[in-house]
Chains A and B, each alone.
Chain A
């Protein structure tokens, strides 16, 4: 037999449930625009029924609102974060490659190629008017302009590398901040959930940080069986429950690539574990800052390319100038040296410390291999160019080295001159007559411009680079930048599409729909009214029983 107030109790449970529902609805509406918020709803169930005796069935006892739960999909979260990591990496690369693209500034009227064209054109003019000092001055000026342009590219790339390094340092700071926040949240969530409930809003905050962190670096995370939360970067723990192993920056002592800035940032964990990024913005930055190989091109690769380009070009120009004759006979000087040194100073420097700080290697025999006095000058010249190319490209230990002809007539392997310290040699700077335009000895034939023609023919020399002539090299360099930049653009845009799709799915699941909430509001409001009505009904019932029942005998 049910108790007298049984019905009121049922309705009361309904009233409570409706009120709790309204609270959750108002929380949802309040957080409509909150980043990372996932909608919540009340999880209610029927109370256990009251069994009627003698097999007459059972009677319901009302409702019980259990947990307030949040609507989220772990699967979508993981998918989003994985793609976020890829996007982070490629967005960075896209931006930087676009920068590099702008630095090279091709094809435009103020690019490297244009100044190279002008330089070669001045050499052509030298062939026509070798005796004319104003033409020689033009050659010198155009040469300086060309080298300055190359140096500008080199310097801009170095500057970019510096900026990237700064960014890496900043990103490490951000990762550490996030780690700290996650650890704090872990603590709160853990203590809040000790009783088995869910700390929905704290979890939302943590999820939001994970979303952001996943863009910076590749992470994986899990909650262990004790509900302690862990975040790892490539297998190394960053956060373990309430503890963090932060990242620290170590200034790099041994320079990795030939033209790197000193003291770039290397990253490791506080615990001395190795840090290795497999994705995310950090990977994008580190790749672009450090990579020199042609499969995964970074700034060192492009610096190396421009150095290879200019160094090979100036050593050919120097070689030709050495073998030709100036206005006043043989001078055996170089057109370009390092830091405005004179040829003699530069050679003295090379002979002492030209190769890794030591004396250079004499490779004349290999360079001259196959040359034959029976052949034409040009053929021999091509053979030498080819041999130099073979030596440099086939020996890994001579990568980033150069082969120079010195005035003793021997060929040496020496260090390259960094593009930004190539200058016109002091000799030519002071005396224009030393540009060797002539192929004939002595100053008797000022009209001879044969050697100037050799200068000019450099640009058609197919034996200079692995990719062919200087023009070929330049074109392949430019198109490779274009292709890389383009590829980064494609990947970024593809990733963005994937993420958009995932975001829609996520929003569709966890986003707050105002319509839905308003509908819910009305639903709960009416449920509340209905329950209240029920209480009134029971009240009236009791009123009947208490006040009006049995008044007949009164």
Chain B
């Protein structure tokens, strides 16, 4: 190959350039990170992003954990002081019970106890970083008022599932942070007429909106016929069934029949599947076709009918359309309870009234003796399983045969009647009757009469409070309670608490209803519903909420939240001791000592719970620490420069560069010109 001087120079310059650019790259490494741009190493860059995110998460979890540990420290030390306060009270009471003291001594004891009481109040109102640690979710409010009564609203919900802060300490792990003051102090439950087994009294109308036509195929038939027609809304859809053959030994598969129906077309090419909701075989082997209800139910919807063209078709029943409805019972199920107010309930009876179908659902008995929620909540699956497996009076059928049982998204237990086969269910009512050991009815939860829900756009629902007799007497008698009774209303996904303002005055039932109405309008800002006073067949007044024209398809929901107590049980008992002391009732002082033990035990269990959580948190912190170290290590491996390598590489490159330069000097210099004269 011919080599020119120009080529030599160019090649030399290019090579020098290559060396220099490599040199530049490594000097950049040596001064910082291995990956500066994603293109330096795309895979490493993606990994670095992931590690950085993970580290960030870990750091934020660590913050949480450290904060939680402090919180537990404060909780624990407060509870320790509380234990000591309890002990002191017990000492004083024991002293008082075992000796005779004069009025002055007793008074000093009483005032000492009174002092301890205020100490307890201030302990329970401990504030940590701006939060009242025993107030559950209502952290901006002190738990107790100065007189020792609860400052927060003790509702059924609060009792069943004391609100508490919980914190996420790893992506999939949450831990309860706060300790409920209610758990520590107990509640002096009051009976104010609002208590009931299942918190909900109002329930919702049936909102089903479909029509089902149903029929039966003889799957063992050798020849069903050639063609079937399904008529929906006046239009005929042809279903080809000419090739479906079955015998006793190999019946036609249901899927084939469904397939044929799904392929069915009208004369103008419209598919049957476009006008129906669903087609399926139900558990009784009936073929069901579900059609949507149009704006109004009557008139526009011509119910479908199987009609037979071939003589050899032998379907046993030719289905006629009907309106499907279900009766549902919705209510809270006590998943956990304190000193279970429900402990005297031994069984529930599920009764269906007004059912004209054949056979009507029998009465089912649900044994509740196994459910004593105490501190451990009962698992939902357990409850469903238990109810489903409960037998009827004659031990023939299970609940699951006639009802669907599930928890809905609001955690309400829903018991819904299934498999209706008759048209008229307007009067079907479900109810639960709670019975005690001796089979005496103690309370009941009423269901409701399902009425037809018309169309999708306009929801008209009527929710009735049947538990209370809302006459003037009742209103006046419970005036104070009613004014503090929040009613939780959910319409269109919007939840509001309807609570009358404190200075609202009402003197009869109508005024109360008006006040509720005013508050409802104020809360929702628009006319979403109407509270009404109604009278039932027995002449008893009851409250109902009628919602009109609410948003599409949203089910209204309404619940009462009654205050169940005002005073902590422990304060009640301290006050009991105070009065016993000041009135010098020796027997009551001894009685107090018995009353005192449960408080002591309760506190112990709460403290051990806090201790366990503290330990858990410590383990979490250690784990996070470990993870942080290892993640940092991996990150550093991925992104940081290995300085030894960089320095050695740089040194090598420097040498190469110098060598190239000196070689270049030799190459470029001579030409022939230098040697001729």
Q: Which residues of A contact B (CB under 8 A)?
A: 32-33, 97-98, 101-102, 104, 106-108, 113-114, 117, 120-121, 124-125, 127-128, 131-132, 323, 325, 329-330, 332, 373-377, 380, 408-410, 440-442, 444-449, 453, 456, 460, 471, 474-476, 478-486, 489, 500, 503-504, 507-509, 511-516, 518-519, 522
Contact = CB atoms under 8 A, between A and B. Distances in A.
Contacts of A33: 6
A437 to B, nearest CB: 12
B39 A101 contact: yes
A498 to B, nearest CB: 14
Q: From B2, B39, B53, B672, name the one whose CB has the most chain A CB atoms within 10 angstroms.
A: B39
B38 A107 contact: yes
Contact of A117 (B56, B137, B408, B554): B56
B199 to A, nearest CB: 16
B1 A107 contact: no
Contacts of A380: 409
Given A132-B130, A481-B39, A514-B673, A441 B496 contact: yes
B137 A447 contact: yes
Contacts of A514: 4-5, 671-673
B38 A478 contact: yes
A519 B46 contact: no
A113 B671 contact: no
Interface string B465-500: 000000000000000000000001010111111000
B407 interface: yes
A117 B496 contact: no
A471 B52 contact: no
Nearest to B36: A108
Contacts of B45: 106-107, 478-479, 482
Nearest 8 A/B pairs, CB to CB: A482-B42, A482-B38, A485-B39, A441-B495, A447-B139, A513-B4, A445-B137, A479-B46
A72 to B, nearest CB: 14
B11 interface: yes
Contact of B37 (A101, A441, A511): A101
A518 B38 CA distance: 53
B6 A511 contact: yes
A210 B84 CA distance: 98
B303 interface: no
Q: From A106, A114, A325, A519, name the one whose CB has the most chain B CB atoms within 10 angstroms.
A: A106
B64 to A, nearest CB: 6
A446 B43 CA distance: 44
B676 interface: yes
B196 interface: no
B165 A447 contact: yes
B136 interface: yes
A32 B185 CA distance: 103
A121 B57 CA distance: 7
B315 interface: no
A113 B42 contact: no
B14 A117 contact: no
Contacts of A97: 39
Contacts of A113: 49, 52-53
Contacts of B146: none
Q: From B46, B168, B488, B551, name the one whose CB has the most chain A CB atoms within 10 angstroms.
A: B46
Contacts of A456: 168
A479 B7 contact: no
Contact of A445 (B41, B163, B490, B551): B163
Contacts of B383: none
Nearest to B499: A442
Nearest to B495: A441
Contacts of A509: 2
B406 interface: yes
B456 to A, nearest CB: 11
B2 A107 contact: no
Contacts of B38: 101, 104, 106-107, 478-479, 481-482, 485
Contacts of A120: 56
24 contacts: A107-B38, A131-B131, A374-B406, A374-B408, A376-B409, A377-B409, A409-B554, A410-B552, A442-B496, A445-B136, A446-B137, A447-B136, A447-B163, A447-B165, A475-B46, A478-B38, A478-B42, A478-B49, A479-B43, A482-B46, A485-B38, A504-B7, A511-B6, A518-B673
Interface of B: 1-7, 10-11, 14, 35-43, 45-46, 48-50, 52-53, 56, 59-60, 64, 67, 130-131, 135-140, 153, 163, 165, 167-168, 171, 178, 406-409, 488, 490, 492-497, 551-552, 554, 639, 671-673, 676
Contacts of A448: 137, 163
B49 A447 contact: no
B497 A442 contact: yes
B49 A107 contact: yes
Contacts of B497: 441-442, 444
Nearest to A511: B4
B423 to A, nearest CB: 27
A475 B48 CA distance: 9
B220 to A, nearest CB: 36
Given A124-B64, A441-B495, A475-B46, 9 more contacts: A104-B38, A124-B168, A131-B139, A332-B494, A408-B551, A445-B163, A481-B38, A482-B38, A513-B6
Contacts of B138: 444-447
B41 A482 contact: yes
A98 B67 CA distance: 44
Contacts of A131: 131, 139-140
Contacts of A483: 39, 42
Contacts of A375: 409
A128 B39 contact: no
B67 A128 contact: yes
Contacts of B551: 408-409
B672 A515 contact: yes
A441 B499 CA distance: 13
Given A124-B60, A518-B676, A374 B407 contact: yes
Contacts of A106: 37-38, 45, 49
Nearest to B3: A508
Contacts of A132: 130
Contacts of B53: 113, 117, 471
B610 to A, nearest CB: 18
Contacts of A476: 46
